[in-house]
Structure 1
Amino acid sequence: MSIGNGLSQVGTGAAGMVLPLVVLRSTGSTLWVGAVEAVWAASVGLACVPAGPIVDRFDRLTVLLICDAGRALASTALALASLGGRPPVWILLSAGVVLGFLGAPSNAAVLASLRRLVPGSRLSTAVSVTLGRIQAASLIGPIVGGFLFGVSPSVPFWFDACSFVMSGVCVFAVRGSLRAATPPAGSGFLSDLTAGFRFVWRERLLRICLLTTVALGLILQGILLLVIMVNAQRGTSGPSVGLIVAAATGGALVGTVLAPIAGDRFPPVRLVTGATAVTGCLVLVMAAAGDRIVLAALLALAMVVMSIAGSVLTTARLLRTPDGFQGRVNSVFNLTQLAAALGPAVAGLMLDRLSGGASLLVFAGLLWALTLLLTRLKVPAAESPDPDAPAHGGRVSEAAAGSPDPDAPAHGGRA
C-alpha cells in the first residue's frame, strides 16, 4: 500500500506541475489558470470536512479503492481531452473538483490506517516514511511532469491515471479490514463533522499540536516566499529560485528521515520548542546573508529542523487519538493547515513596507514568540503524555503515557 500511495503522489505532482501550462495553452488566459488552480485547491479544502467522518465510518480500504478508481477516471478524462492539446475548460474544472474531493479522504485514510498497520513502537518511523514520501513526490513529481509534458501534453495525465491504478492494486492486495475499531455511533453525519473539533478541544496535547501546526505552517510558507522574493529582487535567475525551492524540499526530506531518531531522544513538546528556537536563529542569520547559496543552505537547515518537529507532532497526534477518531482529527488538522496560505500573503504585505531582511527579522521574532509560548504551556499527565518523558518512539507505552484506549470512544461517547 505504501508503494502504491507513493506512486500516486508522484503522478499527482507530475499532473499538478503541467496543469497551469495546459490551461494557459488551452485558453491563453492567466485568469483561467488562476481559476482552475483555485477550484482544485478549494475542492481539497472543502473535502477535508467530510473526509474524517467518512474514514471513521467506513472501511478505510474501501475508501482508498473508491478514491483511486475515481481519480484514475478523472485523470483519464484529462488525458483524453488533452490529446488535441487544447482541452475544454469545463473538463479541467470538473476533473479538478473530482480529484480534489477524492484526494482528501484518500490522504485521511492513509494516515488513519497507520496505527492499525504498524506496531506502536514503529509508528514514528512509519510517520516519517509517509511524510518523507510526500516530500520526495513533491520533488520528483514536477521533474517527471516536465519531462513528460515535453513528449505530449496528455502524457503526464496518462501517467497520473496509471499511478492511481497501481495504487488501487496495492490497496487491493492488503488483506482484512481497516474499519475503525469503534466506528461512530448513529449520531448523524452533521454531528460527526464537529466531533473531531470537539475532541481536539478537550485534549490539551492535541490543542497544543494544533496551535503549533497552524503557526508553523503560516510562518514557514511566509519565510519561503520571502527568501524567493529577496533573491528575485537581487536579479537572480530562474534556476537560482529553483535551487532555493529544491533546497527547501530536500531539507524537509532529510528532516523526515532524522525524525524517528530525534523522537527517541527527546519529548515531543520539548523537541518542538527547541526546533522553533533554532529555526528563529537560522532565520535571523538569513536576514543578514547576502549570497544566494548561503540563503539556500540556511533555508535547507531550517526545513530539516522544522520537518523533524512536524513529524514528531504528527506521531504524538496519532498516538493520542483513538482509532475511531483518527479520520475526524486528521480532518481538523488538514483543514486548519489551510491557514498556511496566509503566510505568503503576510510576507507579501511586509515586502511592500519593509526590506527583505527586516521582514525575515519579523518572522524570526514570530518563531521566538512561539518558542516562549510553548515553554509556558503545560501538559498535565492526566490528560496527555508527559512532555518530559520520551515520545512513543522512545518506547513508552500508550498506557504509561496516559493516552486514551484506542478501542473506546474518548470522554464517554461521541466526543
Structure 2
Amino acid sequence: MTAAGTTADAADAVAAEPGPPPLARNREYNLLWTANVVSQLGAQGTLIAYPLLVLGLGGSAFEASLAEFAIAGSRALAALPAGALADRVSRKALMLVSELGRAVALGLLALLVALGHAPLAVILVVAVVEGVCTSLFGTADQALLPGVVPASQLADAVTRNTARYYLATIVGPGIGGFLYGVQRLLPFLTQAVTSALAFVTLLFLRAPAPRPAADGADAGRGDAADGPGEGPQESTLQAMAAGLRWLRGNRPVRATVLLGTAFNLVFSGLLITVVVMAQQDGRSGAEIGAIGALIGAGGVLGALSAGVLRRSLTPFTALMVLTWASAALVPLLAVVPTGWPAGLVLGAAAFLAPTATALVAGHQMMVTPDAMRGRLAGLIGVSMGAAAALGPLLSGLLLETVHGVPTVLSCAAAFLLIALGVAATPAVRAFPALPDDRGHPPGS
C-alpha cells in the first residue's frame, strides 16, 4: 500500500467516525435543561409576587422593594462562596440541596399566607433563602454543563440555556401575576411545586465523575482540568482567592467578564429608565409590561437564530455587532414613543445578545479547568449581580437630576465607550472561536 493510499484511508476513517449525539438526544443535558427551566419559570413568577404580597398585606412601597432587594442582594453575595463550594463538593448534590431548600421555604411561606399570618420579616427571610438557593443552583449548573456536553456542542448548549432564560422572563411574570390574582398563595405554592419537580428530575441525572487533580496548586494556576473534591482541601476563602488569581491570569476571560459586566450595568439601568419614562408619560400597565415581554421575545428570537449566526461570526465580531448596534439603537429611545415602541428598540438589542453570549461563554467554560468552573460562575454571578443592582441605582440618580432623554443619551454614550473598549482590547480581538460539529449530521 502506498503512503498516499494510507493517508487517504486514515482520512476516510476520521471522516467516517461518528460525531456526538445531538443535544436533543443527550439525556444528561436535557435533564439539566428541564430541571432549570421548570425552576426558573416558578422563580420568575415569585419575582413579581413578592412585592405584590407585601403591598397586599398593607406594606409600603419601600417595604415591597426590600423583598426584591433581598433576593437580588443575597443572590449576588452568595455567588462567590457558592462558586467555591461548587468546586469542592458534588455539583449534583448542591443543586438538589438548593432546590429542596427553595421548595421548603416557599412551601412554608404559602402555608403562612393561607393562614393569614405572613409578617414582613418572614417574607424577607424566605426571599433571602430563595436568592441563596438560586445562586447555589446557578453556579453548580454552569460548572456542570461542560461535563455533560461535548466541546463541539457547548455554544449550542449555551444558546439554548439563554433561550431558556428569556422564555422564563416572558412567561414567568405573567403566570405569577395571574396566579396572585386568583389567590395570593398560589405563586409561592407553584414555586415550591416546581422546585420539587426540579429536585425529582435531578435525581435521575448521571453527573460526570470529577477528574482527579495532581495537586491544589495546579487548580490555582489553571494548568489542569481538576475535579471537585480531589487533592488537598482548601478553605472556602482559599478557594475563592484561587479563583480570583486564575481569572486575573487569564486575559481573554477576564476582559470578556469585565466587558459583559459593563454592558449589563448599562442595559439594566436603561430598562428602569424606559419604565420610568413610560410611567411619567401616563402609559398603561399593559404597555409598560409589554416592554419586558418584547425584550424577552427579542432574546428568544435571537437564541433561535444564534445557531446560524454564530457559525458565520467570530466572538470578536459578535461582540462588536452587539455593542455597536446597541450604541446605535439606544439613541432612538429619545425620540420614539414610550411604551411598546421602546420595547421594540430594546428587543432589537436583546436579539443580538444570545449569539455573543454563546460564543464567549462557551469558550470561557471550555478553557476553564473543571476545578475552577464553579468559581468562575460565582465570579460572573457576583459581577452581574452588582451590575444589576448598580445600573438602576445610577440611572435613578440621573433621572432625578437630568431627567429622561439625557439619561437615555448617557446610556448611549456608555454603550459607545464599551464598543470602543471591545475594539481596542487585544485579548478580545484575539478571542478564539469554539470548535463546532458542522461536519456531523444536522441537529447535533
The TM tier, using the shorter chain, reads 0.7 to 0.9
Q: Aligned in 2, Cα 1:178/1:8: closer, same or farther, shift over 3 Å? A: farther
Contact 2:169 2:293 in 1 (8 A): no
Is 1:221 the counterpart of 2:264? The answer is no
Cα distance in 2, alignment partners of residues 134 and 31 from structure 1 = 28
Report the counterpart of residue 327 of structure 2 in structure 1: 280
Q: CA deviation at 1:111?
A: 1.1
Q: Aligned in 2, Cα 1:141/1:201: closer, same or farther, shift over 3 Å? A: same
Q: Aligned in 2, Cα 1:393/1:344: closer, same or farther, shift over 3 Å? A: farther
Q: CA deviation at 1:94?
A: 2.4
**Which letter maps to 1:229?**
V
Report the counterpart of residue 9 of structure 1 in structure 2: 40
Cα distance in 1, alignment partners of residues 433 and 287 from structure 2 = 41
Q: CA deviation at 1:157?
A: 1.6
1:83-133 CA deviation, whole Å, 9 max, x = no partner?
A: 034412332222222222221111111111110111111111111111211
Number of matched pairs: 391
Q: CA deviation at 1:269?
A: 2.0
Is 1:148 the counterpart of 2:179? The answer is yes
Larger mean Cα displacement after TM superposition, 103-112 or 40-49: 40-49
Equivalent of residue 46 in structure 1, options 56, 77, 99: 77
Q: Aligned in 2, Cα 1:250/1:279: closer, same or farther, shift over 3 Å? A: same
Report the counterpart of residue 166 of structure 1 in structure 2: 197
Cα distance in 1, alignment partners of residues 338 and 237 from structure 2 = 53
1:235-294 CA deviation, whole Å, 9 max, x = no partner?
A: 222211111121112112222222332222211122102210111111123323246443
Equivalent of residue 340 in structure 1, options 368, 374, 388: 388
Equivalent of residue 392 in structure 1, options 423, 435, 438: 435
Q: CA deviation at 1:351?
A: 2.5
Structure 1 segment 35-184 matched on structure 2, within 5 A: 35-177=66-208, 179=210, 181-183=226-228
Equivalent of residue 377 in structure 2, options 327, 330, 334: 330
Cα distance in 2, alignment partners of residues 188 and 289 from structure 1 = 53
CA-atom RMSD in angstroms: 2.2
Cα distance in 2, alignment partners of residues 41 and 176 from structure 1 = 29
Cα distance in 1, alignment partners of residues 105 and 272 from structure 2 = 32
Q: Aligned in 2, Cα 1:300/1:212: closer, same or farther, shift over 3 Å? A: same
Instruction: Indicate the SS of the match to 2:154.
Output: helix
Is 1:250 the counterpart of 2:297? The answer is yes
Cα distance in 1, alignment partners of residues 339 and 183 from structure 2 = 34
TM-score with structure 2 length normalisation?
0.82
Cα distance in 2, alignment partners of residues 293 and 17 from structure 1 = 20
Q: Which runs of 5+ in 1 are unaligned?
A: 397-415
- Of structures 1 and 2, the larger Rg is shown by 2
Contact 1:263 1:394 in 2 (8 A): no
TM-score with structure 1 length normalisation?
0.88
Cα distance in 1, alignment partners of residues 406 and 61 from structure 2 = 32
Structure 1 segment 238-387 matched on structure 2, within 5 A: 238-290=285-337, 292-337=339-384, 338-379=386-427, 386-387=430-431
Q: Which runs of 5+ in 2 are unaligned?
A: 1-30, 212-225, 440-444
Report the counterpart of residue 24 of structure 2 in structure 1: none
Contact 2:281 2:338 in 1 (8 A): no
**Which letter maps to 2:147?**
R
Instruction: Indicate the SS of the match to 1:35.
Output: helix
Cα distance in 2, alignment partners of residues 87 and 219 from structure 1 = 36
1:164-187 CA deviation, whole Å, 9 max, x = no partner?
A: 111111111112545465236323
Cα distance in 2, alignment partners of residues 197 and 167 from structure 1 = 31
Instruction: Indicate the SS of the match to 1:82.
Output: helix
Q: CA deviation at 1:336?
A: 0.8
Instruction: Indicate the SS of the match to 2:426.
Output: coil
Instruction: Indicate the SS of the match to 2:427.
Output: coil
